[in-house]
Amino acid sequence: MKKYPLLVLIVIFIVALTAFPFNAYGQTSGILESTWGVALVIGNAAYTKIKVLKNPVNDAVDIGKAMEGLGWYVLSYTDASLATMKGAVREYATRLKGQKAGFFYYAGHGIQVDGVNYLVPVDADIKLRTEAQDNTMAADFILRAMDEVNVPLKIVVLDACRDNPFEATRGGGTSRGLAVLGRAPTGTVIVYATASNDVSDDGKGRNGIFTEAFLSNLGTPGLEFKEIFDKTGELVRTKTNGAQNPWMNSSYYGKLYLISPVETERSAGARLDAINNELALLEKPQAERAKALAAAKDQAERDRINLESKKASALEAAKKEEAAALERAKILAATRAAEEERNRTAA
């Protein structure tokens, strides 16, 4: 996954805070809590019987790292067989018990047969249309497992809308891409990489078009999940000139923060304290270098001290810039959290 400097994320957060209006908070208790839980991430690319894909493994690895960075416990699988996928769901359901949220991400081949979406394991071999159900895993199998263990919030992200690779399952109730899932349990958020019956781009870089855009917004502090999706969709549409349009279905009506403004304020404050301590520690060596430079008689020694001093000055300037951005982020996060709480109380 691309490593975005903390300063960049903070600047994005500041822009996001000023770009979105304040709304009432949907929960009945608490204030703007970050959403943490268990994530299951699967990326299939090395198919043995059909077209090998380029990016799903990278996509899954990067999404897994991003979710871990957000505080989620992540189960990650790549190039999984059908048995491995089903075993992963069993373990996932076990770990979800007692959690407040579940997150499932899949990248790889996916097919639609008679309006049912199937996620394709790497060992799938389908020669007859009737084999589709037995050689793949239905997408709603994940939802049923999450619902069975009574996890209140269920997030499913499917970057599986590629062309159907199995000739036997094309036509006669089968379309390109995935179908919109039917009735989903309450508290479900389903994100598709593109609109129903359409296909998504596997991408030319490290990640697919959708996942690349999703990753660039996923870790932005303080954004509500629908805001993350809106920014992701806008970016995908722009990059594909409107050819690919991400889609979201939701039966969750509250605010969903992966990193809440409250958490942002807290972490920004802690990081700000750490940076101020680092700046204080940088002052003494700089003063000592100034004395050493004045006493140095050898040009090589003076050059060495000057180089060290320049590097230290550049580091100090970067730390001060980060500290200023953190201070702004902390103030804005506190403002948004307080406004949201007032709106929630009034509602």
The strands making up 247-250's β-sheet, listed across from edge to edge, are: 73-78, 38-43, 101-107, 153-159, 188-192, 247-250
Q: How far is CA 87 from the centre of its chain?
A: 24
More confident residue, 244 or 43: 43
Dihedral of the alpha carbons of 259, 264, 267, 270, in degrees to the nearest 10: 180
Half-sphere exposure of 313 (CA within 13 A, CB side): 9
Question: Which CATH number is associated with domain 34-259?
Answer: 3.40.50.1460
pLDDT at 334: 80
- For residue 25, the 8-state DSSP code is -
Is the sign of the CA dihedral 336, 341, 346, 347 positive or negative?
Answer: positive
Token digits of residue 314: 């550049």
Query: Averaging pLDDT over each range in 42-46, 70-74, 157-161, 223-227, which range is the top one?
Result: 42-46
Mean pLDDT value across residues 191-218 = 78
pTM over 0.85: no
Tokens 């404050």 locate to 269
Q: What pairs with residue 42 in β-bridges? A: 77, 106
Nearest to 325 by CA among 5, 4, 3, 14: 14
Burial class (CB in 10 A: 0-12, 13-18, 19+), 75: middle
Report the chain's mean pLDDT, rounded to a whole number.
80
Q: What pairs with residue 138 in β-bridges? A: 118
Query: Averaging pLDDT over each range in 61-70, 105-114, 159-168, which range is the top one?
Result: 61-70
pLDDT at 297: 82
Mean pLDDT value across residues 290-296 = 86
Residues 90-106: pLDDT tens digits?
999 999 999 989 999 99
At 1, the pLDDT band (50, 70, 90 cuts) reads very low
CA distance 32 to 138: 34
What is the greatest pairwise CA distance in the chain? 87
More confident residue, 275 or 343: 275
Q: 171 — alpha (psi -120 to 50), left (phi > 0) or beta?
A: left
